[in-house]
Amino acid sequence: MVGLIDCNNFYASCERVFQPSLNGKAIVVLSNNDGCVIARSVEAKLLGIPMGEPAFKLKELIESNQVAVFSSNYVLYGDMSHRVMTTIGAFVPEMEVYSIDEAFLFFDGFENINLNDLGGNLVRTVIRNTGLPVSLGIAPTKTLAKVANKFAKKYKNYKGVCVIDNEEKREKALKLTKIGDVWGIGRQYSKKLEYYSVNTAWDFTQRSKAWVRQQMGVVGERTWLELRGVSCIETESPKSKKTICTSRSFGEKLTTIEPVSEAVANFAAACAEKLRAEKSTAAMVNVFIHTNPFAPNQPQYYNQITLKLPVSSNDSTELIECAIRGLKAIFKEGYKYKKAGVIVSEITPERPLQADLFDTRDRSKYKKAMLAMDKLNASYGRQKVKIAAQGFDRKWKLKNEKLSPCYSTNLKDIFVVKAD
């Protein structure tokens, strides 16, 4: 049996954990630069606030309904996710973290255990340990577990846990599930299937395997088998990244190279830090900049450049130097720049390192420096030690006017309880 557990309205729920007064009130979380809605509480959904809608278009609706608005606080959300996953890991021997708020659980060897009781205990423990509401669906396959999870979330009588463990439950669940709500069935396929009178997941399973293969290929056939109780989606192991990208939109339009250079240096440093964390190196550095494409009345400019490092590296100083050299080659005066980014590619393991005969860099010395910097930042906080080129002005930083405190990761933001 497979379980799928996820946090209900995760970003909004994280904000509620530390501000209980928001319980029952509409909440929206905005994207980088406070641009668009990326998360909504149930109450916000009922108000008709659509996903992805620009915040400025919702100003009247938000103000008239006293909707609580937050900038995205990824530090807080990441820490809360870690707490959830750590709690779950104490219950099952194997799990696959699928996203920041979802994980597949594998109940191999639990044949003589009541999964409903176990699931209920798991859900209650996560809520008690983190304050975050979660839902758990358990079924013979990943796709059916997704279906079960939706029922656990939708119907309160399940108390957060829905188990599909026999044919009767499977048939009933599939008949109540719209074909467009099935994991793996996209919008285009759902339209196509509805054209052929396949309106529910049950209708889909009643079609022949050959028909499904003809209409949807091997991916559709895999979904068809999963819905019929045949497990055929393997556990995904972490894959080595082929590229790493760090980019941001600027909080204000930048017209001179200095703040853009500072931003690019920070992006390159972030890429280098990720490479070191994965014990990898990169041989190519791509830098891009562009103006705001949604301001057609302003002069537009976009450019990028790719530079090759003499030796594959994860050294922040080397990647920053390379990225700034690339920026200087493509930067043009007279434009209002909205966004920049750095992409590193040709990623290979840190060892063995392919050296260069003419390389004069003391790589051993710089490696020790990077190791010391990473240790200090891990102990005292992110970017407590950084390269001078990363600067301190940060005119380019994201607009996050409604950012909540980092309650669980920053001592300055920790709650202070006073008792008489």
- Whether residue 68 lies inside any domain: the answer is no
Residue 172's closest CA among 195, 208, 139? 139
Q: Is position 29 within any domain?
A: no
Q: Find where tokens 């996560």 sit.
A: 126
Closest CA relative to residue 281, chosen from 321, 308, 261, 246: 308
Residues 290-294 have a mean pLDDT of 87
pLDDT band at 179 (very low <50, low <70, confident <90, very high): very high
**209-228 per-position pLDDT tens digit:** 999 999 989 989 999 999 99
Classify residue 212: in a domain, yes or no.
no
DSSP run (H or E) holding 28? strand 27-30
Beta strands in 101-235 (DSSP E): 102-106, 134-139, 161-163
The string of DSSP codes covering 126-150 is: HHHHH---EEEEEESSHHHHHHHHH
Q: Say what the pLDDT of residue 394 is.
A: 67
Instruction: Answer yes or no: is pLDDT of 293 > 90.
Output: no
Let me know: does 147 contact 200? Beta carbons within 8 Å: no
Tokens of 87: 């709690």
Query: What does the block give as tokens for 68?
Result: 């609580």
| CATH number (domain holding residue 344) | 3.30.1490.100
Note whether residue 366 is domain-resident. yes
First to last CA, the chain: 52
Question: Would you give the DSSP letter of residue 54?
Answer: B
Structural tokens at position 96: 């696959």
Per the domain annotation, does 205 fall within a domain?
no
Between residues 360 and 326, the one the model is more confident about:
326
How long, in residues, is the chain? 420
Count of domains forming the chain: 1
What is the CA 363 to chain-centroid distance, rounded? 34
What pTM was estimated for this model as a whole?
Answer: 0.73
Residue 301 lies in a domain: yes
φ, ψ dihedrals at 28, nearest 5°: -130, 145
Residue 395, pLDDT > 80, answer no
Domain span holding position 368: 243-390
For residue 23, tell me if it sits in a domain. no
Please indicate, yes or no, if residue 36 is contained in any of the structural domains.
Answer: no
Tell me which amino acid residue 228 is: R
The stretch 25-48 carries a mean pLDDT of 89
For the beta carbon of residue 258, count every other beta carbon within 10 angstroms: 12
